[in-house]
Amino acid sequence: MKLVTIVGARPQFIKSVVVSEELQKQGMREIIIHTGQHYDTNMSETFFQELELPKPDYYLGVGSGLHGEQTGKMLLQLEKILLKEKPDMVLVYGDTNSTLAGALSATKLHIPVAHIEAGLRSFNKKMPEEINRILTDHISTLLFAPSKTAVQNLEREGIVEGVYKVGDVMFDVTLKYLKQINLQKILKKFSLREKEFLLVTIHRAENTDNFENLKNILEAIFQIANYRISVIFPVHPRTFKAFQKLKIEKIQPIKKENWNKFVDFLTKGFPKEGVVQIGNLQFREPVSYFEMLGLEKGAKVILTDSGGVQKESYFVGTPAIVARNETEWIELVQIGFNQLIGPKRDKIVQSVLKMFQLGIPKEEISHKPFKRLNNLDKNLKNDNNQTPFDKSKSFIFQKKEITIKKEGGLITYNLGSHLGDSSDSKKNFYNIYGDGTTAFQIVSIINNYLKLG
């Protein structure tokens, strides 16, 4: 059986690692098409090398452009390749233009589509990603949902057939690679100390294409750095282009001695060494996946608008402040792990300072990643509403013993026999987004579907 995988953006490269491995294990032939949506070396080639991904069979080289232009270029080339390869199924990931183009080109040729990360919704149709998600889900044959919420979103839209709650492949990937990183080596490279810095990632169009939002976030970051907090900001190419369009004279909290450095950065870009240091704030060119995972684990807190980073922060035990007005990963807000505060300067500054315990009375600070488990599966609670995550803790929920513990930087939930055969050690660990067997489940379902015809 032959399956075509269509990827084009950094998060898709990462997610595809464990699925590609499982496809090979189960004897399925995979043809990889890289659309070239992310084409910068630091956003594409580096990931294939570091994660030892198979070299793409086809590279479309689409590059950047308006959404319609970019998607149209992909459709033109994808259709020709699919007609040539005649795959049994097309596999797409997430919510990018590559996702939609892959799903559309396959559906038009009556080729079944499998969508990984189906059912996610921000309920904001001004986001191009939201349009991509909805359209892809409605034309997919197999829909692999990462959470109960995602399944419910699909049900509300009348999609019930072919839906599977399998967990999140990002958790599988984190389990695979977290133990391989050398945290101290990564921190030393970036001149940072563990749990003493803020990590920033901003790239969503709703922030980069909105002057006021981007200005608020940038001012917040400079203001935080003025409190002698170390800040590292790996800058996405889209974000840097947006920086250059800002009216920099209106950016307020930049100290006079740093003004020329910032103007020089916007004018000339990154120097050869790939870093611009402005006071306590370092702007960096995009980092590798291993470096990013290390930075996420080593940070005190993360400021982000990325869906993937929101999840990875949870997997490694570092709380995230989400600079958006809505999120697809609402479960992490509901359980008190992440904060959804929007692109608002004062709220961002206040939230970060609280995490660093600067100028805030101790009794007001909640510096543990989880204050309480108050809304897992809507009403999963400890009897006394407290969850000390620095230790293992057990309690009873729906007549099942649940053990919560932090091990190797990962928050896990042991549901005893709830997940099935207790002799399978992989099934003993559970979190909101799966038990580490997502890739195995996805490929097994695809395999069975194709065998049954």
386 and 415 share one domain:
yes
Residue 143 and residue 260 in one domain: no
Residue 206 has pLDDT above 70, yes or no: yes
Q: What are the pLDDT digits (tens) for 160-177? A: 999 999 999 999 999 999
Residue 2's pLDDT band (boundaries 50, 70, 90)?
Answer: very high
Is residue 120 over pLDDT 90? yes
Q: Give residue 64's identity as a one-letter amino acid code.
A: S
* Catalytic residue from among 34, 38, 115, 203: 203
Question: Using an 8 Å Cβ cutoff, are 353 and 347 in contact?
Answer: no
pLDDT-derived band at 246 (thresholds 50, 70, 90) equals: confident
End-of-domain residue from the set 340, 364, 388 = 364
Report how far apart, in Å, the C-alpha atoms of 119 and of each of 145, 152, 184, 272, 398 are: 6, 8, 38, 42, 27
Predicted TM-score (pTM) of this structure: 0.80
Considering the chain, what is the average pLDDT of its residues? Answer: 83
The number of folded domains in the chain is: 3
Query: Which CATH number goes with the domain that contains 195?
Result: 3.40.50.2000
Map tokens 């995988």 to a residue.
Answer: 5
Whether 203 is a known active-site residue: answer yes
pLDDT for 431: 60
Domain boundary among 364, 394, 421: 364
Does 86 share its domain with 219?
no
Count of CB atoms situated within 10 Å of the CB of 205: 15
pLDDT reported for residue 251 = 72
Domain of residue 64: give its range. 2-168+437-452
pLDDT at 121 over 90: yes
Is residue 370 situated within a structural domain? no
Q: Which residue has the higher pLDDT, 336 or 20?
A: 20
Q: Please check whether residues 77 and 200 belong to one and the same domain.
A: no
Contact between residue 150 and residue 119 where contact means Cβ atoms under 8 Å apart: yes
pLDDT in tens, 377-428: 333 333 333 333 333 433 333 333 334 344 444 433 333 322 222 233 333 3
How many percent of the chain have pLDDT more than 90?
A: 66
| 243 and 194 co-located in one domain | yes
How many CA atoms are closer than 13 Å to the CA of 287, on its beta-carbon side? 22
Q: How confident is the model at residue 362 (pLDDT cuts 50, 70, 90)?
A: very low
Residue 114 lies in a domain: yes
Inter-residue contact 150 to 433 (CB < 8 Å) = no
Say if residue 196 is in the same domain as residue 164: no
Instruction: Give me the pLDDT at residue 262, please.
Output: 86
Residues 351 and 427 in one domain: no
Domain assignment present for residue 369? The answer is no
Q: Quote helix, strand, coil % in the chain, to nearest 5.
A: 45, 20, 40
What tokens appear for 129 in the block?
A: 């990603």
| pLDDT (tens digit per residue) in 65-97 | 788 899 999 999 999 999 999 999 999 999 999
Last residue of a domain, one of 309, 331, 364: 364
Are 31 and 121 found together in one domain? yes
In a domain, 149, yes or no: yes
Strands 410-414 and 400-407: antiparallel
Asked, for residue 372, whether it belongs to a domain, the answer is no
Clarify whether residues 333 and 266 are in a common domain.
yes
**Residue 173 domain-assigned?**
no
Q: Looking at the structure, tell me whether residues 213 and 262 fall in a common domain.
A: yes
Q: Do residue 74 and residue 58 come from a single domain?
A: yes
DSSP string across 328-349? S-HHHHHTTSSEE--S-HHHHH
Asked whether residue 57 is domain-assigned, the answer is yes
Residues 137 and 36 in one domain: yes
Residue 371 in any domain: the answer is no
Q: What is the pLDDT, as a whole number, of residue 11?
A: 87
What whole-number distance in Å separates Cα of residue 267 and Cα of residue 260? Answer: 10
